[in-house]
A and B are shown apart, each in its own frame.
Chain A
């Protein structure tokens, strides 16, 4: 399969995402510059973390207008697998590919630490490697990770089973302890925690590996179906 990691000015987890994808998923992985306009060649697209455009306005608010985002929207509509991590999640929210918004952490401070997440759904294309209800270790590192949506939206998310990960011990004040959500179709996942930072025991956890494995397994299944 072919993977892409988008690079915006100010992205700083792009290298880490490339390394994680290379480590886990067979096939090529390309860095795609934000001024490019074509993502049609890719099965899996990662929008990495960082501080796109310095996050001087609102996280992700400017990156959302980069040329590449139009083709990201097309890829989402076409059912391609899209993973937004941290600033990538914020960009997906700003682009309207996922519902809700981010506020500054309740502590008003940046928080970087290992974090326990509960897997709410083990059947998405991102999470078949996990059991529903399993507790996994994936670190967080953000200042604006306090996910917010109104009550009606939250009800929709819960009713559709779109909450994929929840914090066991909420580090930022997010609504309903939400750490990661998917879109209704299930092909777009946004999460604040960094699975690409949990891919080797030496880093403190390798629980993130199974997320990338799940994505690869899904691609393989799709391929088989077509074959």
Chain B
């Protein structure tokens, strides 16, 4: 113990009030007064600490709850909605899929390896604490630009975040199968690291985090509690500043090996059928897990903190309650099952300690060496945090960017200019192949990955079944910034479209809302508008939101990040033979553009990468059209009429075709007609479009399906050869060797990342 620790004396309740010590913990004057009312006295140091983390945005959703209320959360397949560790959706035959997304943005900004690693650890615990076996991990990452020499710090963050995710996921043996990465100025100094985990469970095994049964013992399992991550939840709920570096101690350190043992032991415990309630210690550690479990059961809990395994000598109740040491779980069993539970953890060489019991008085009572050091009302901590309906104001930028004419850029004419633009887009880090990233992830372990990273969505087979689960994460934040409402709709629509392209029926959504400071009316406006759009899309596409995460205060000295809702979505493939890939399959297959191309270049990749402009109105999504298109495509895939399917998104039709050609290792000779300007047609990012290919003899039947659904199609030509050649309105537009396109697409990130070595 250092001399500083020994000298530190906890402030008394009166000192906390007089010196406003609570303010340093992120508690406002009004909230402090309310806490005093609930307590009937001034809280002591550990008590105000408990309130501060539980009333942080991260744990209470005090700023975002009115926003989250917009989302549809029910559906015929939903077994568990928001509120538990993760949502659960029925997939038939007594099985269900469990999934959730979570952010670890702030920790990753100052300690990218551990920040990202512990993000993976946390989301895994959310899944296996439900009783589910984790079967896949995905991630959605945002960084500042990496391509210029001066972007060294962003390259460092990118490289270390990827290594952190790899280090954790690979070790624990859950395949990291998909994700998305965007590089943009708006994330300078505030990268985003969102991690999603998908698990599989039998209905009978679904667990809840409830402390039922007065008198039942409460067990702590996992490694000892240390002084790491203290006030992590509070730190996650404030803006990043120049001084944030000093908060490095708020970042936890991960131990994937320990987590692997905890996971196997907990799954074994759950399988034994003796668990009353179980929850992981994530944000706000022991505080959050104990209070939430007690609250959900309408009970109280008594904790004997001296029994908590401790990594350092002399830890105080305050430190133990607020530590976010990783890989820890809390569970409740009946007294007669205590020995059986302990034997399971002994087998795995894990500490499993009786730290308290369930009480009937609705109090969270903290004991330390026989002395009561804290006595708090459970309901107040968990459910009574004030909810803020923040002021909303349309930001000044909105009208400006909307007014910009996105069609005013000089026309790219002729084969050379258009092919050049395509190559520029393919080598832009956001669009370029992420092979450099996903080859660092073990995406094959568990031997169920039947569609590897790189396609529209990853697909994992369900063991001993003909079913498979498709999964994706998506969100175009530039579009959301330019029009939060349309961008919000588009994020959901694109995620669903990606799943449908693999032959899956979209089931449900987990969302991660990454925004700036909600106390700024312009930021709250972004949040409000985009959530409205997302909610509408979820409604129309029948994909309820079953859980998620909110990460606010994503600001750095340069301002707020782009509003970044990330949509995690899972879909069901009933028969594995129906799974479709994005690459062209056979020479002679016909290439078909499904959906209508409009002159929608606002916020497009073409404007950003070629003209350096990030304005204009982004594409609008007609949700009825989107829904009809997706249903028709899914019907066609299930009838075996579709050879390949690929979503048109960043970079529009030209990039989609090039990617299908690269993925299939085959070229195509195509010819399109359009009323639009050629470059607008090729690079517009209109929604509700996909590029598919089909056997020539099946084209007629296929087109009839889309026609019946009222969805536009255009047959573009045939797969074949080693070149991509395309005419638009009879004029040569694209002409390139597939090998050249592939080099641009696959070579971009490796060549940038080799720069500093």
A: residues with CB less than 8 A from B are 9-10, 12-13, 15-16, 19-20, 50-51, 53-56, 109-113, 139, 141, 143, 194, 196-197, 199-200, 202-204
Contact = CB atoms under 8 A, between A and B. Distances in A.
B444 A194 contact: yes
B714 interface: no
Contacts of A15: 446
A10 B171 contact: yes
B163 interface: yes
B261 A197 contact: no
B585 to A, nearest CB: 15
Contacts of A199: 447
B60 interface: no
Contacts, number: 80
B722 interface: no
Nearest to B163: A109
A9 B444 contact: no
B441 A13 contact: no
A10 B264 CA distance: 10
Lowest 10 A-B CB distances belong to which pairs?
A12-B173, A54-B257, A51-B171, A16-B447, A202-B450, A141-B442, A112-B442, A110-B440, A110-B166, A197-B444
B445 A16 contact: yes
B461 interface: yes
A12 B440 contact: no
B349 interface: yes
Contacts of A51: 170-171, 173, 256-257, 260
A99 B452 CA distance: 35
Contacts of B348: 9
A200 to B, nearest CB: 8
Interface in B411-457: 438-447, 449-450, 452
A102 B174 CA distance: 24
B445 A12 contact: yes
Given A9-B257, A141-B170, A112 B443 contact: yes
B584 to A, nearest CB: 18
Interface string B609-626: 000000000000000000
Instruction: Label chain A's interface by main secondary structure.
Output: mixed
Contacts of B474: none
A53 B257 contact: yes
Most buried by A among B163, B440, B447: B447
A65 to B, nearest CB: 14
Contact of B257 (A10, A19, A139): A10
- Size bin of chain B's contact surface: 20 to 34
Nearest to A202: B450
Given A50-B173, A112-B438, A196-B447, 14 more contacts: A9-B260, A10-B171, A12-B171, A12-B172, A12-B173, A13-B173, A19-B463, A20-B447, A56-B257, A109-B166, A109-B440, A110-B441, A111-B440, A204-B452
B255 interface: yes
Nearest to A50: B173
21 contacts: A9-B257, A9-B261, A12-B171, A12-B445, A20-B447, A50-B173, A51-B171, A51-B257, A54-B256, A110-B170, A110-B442, A111-B440, A112-B438, A112-B441, A112-B442, A143-B170, A197-B445, A199-B447, A202-B576, A203-B444, A203-B447
B461 A202 contact: yes
Contacts of B447: 16, 19-20, 196-197, 199-200, 203
A160 to B, nearest CB: 32
Contacts of A203: 444, 447, 449-450
A139 B256 CA distance: 23
Query: Which of A13, A55, A111 gathers most chain B CB within 10 Å?
Result: A13
Nearest to A143: B170
Contact of A112 (B173, B349, B439): B439
Given A9-B349, A112-B439, A139 B173 contact: no
A41 to B, nearest CB: 21
B260 A112 contact: no
Q: Which of A110, A141, A197: most chain B Cβ within 10 A?
A: A110
A100 B167 CA distance: 25
A204 to B, nearest CB: 7
A203 B448 CA distance: 7
A169 B257 CA distance: 31
Nearest to A54: B257
B749 to A, nearest CB: 13
Nearest to B162: A109
A196 B261 CA distance: 23
Nearest to B175: A112
B446 A16 contact: yes
A167 B393 CA distance: 61
Most buried by A among B260, B348, B444: B444
B576 A141 contact: no
B415 to A, nearest CB: 35
Contacts of B167: 110
A50 B440 CA distance: 15
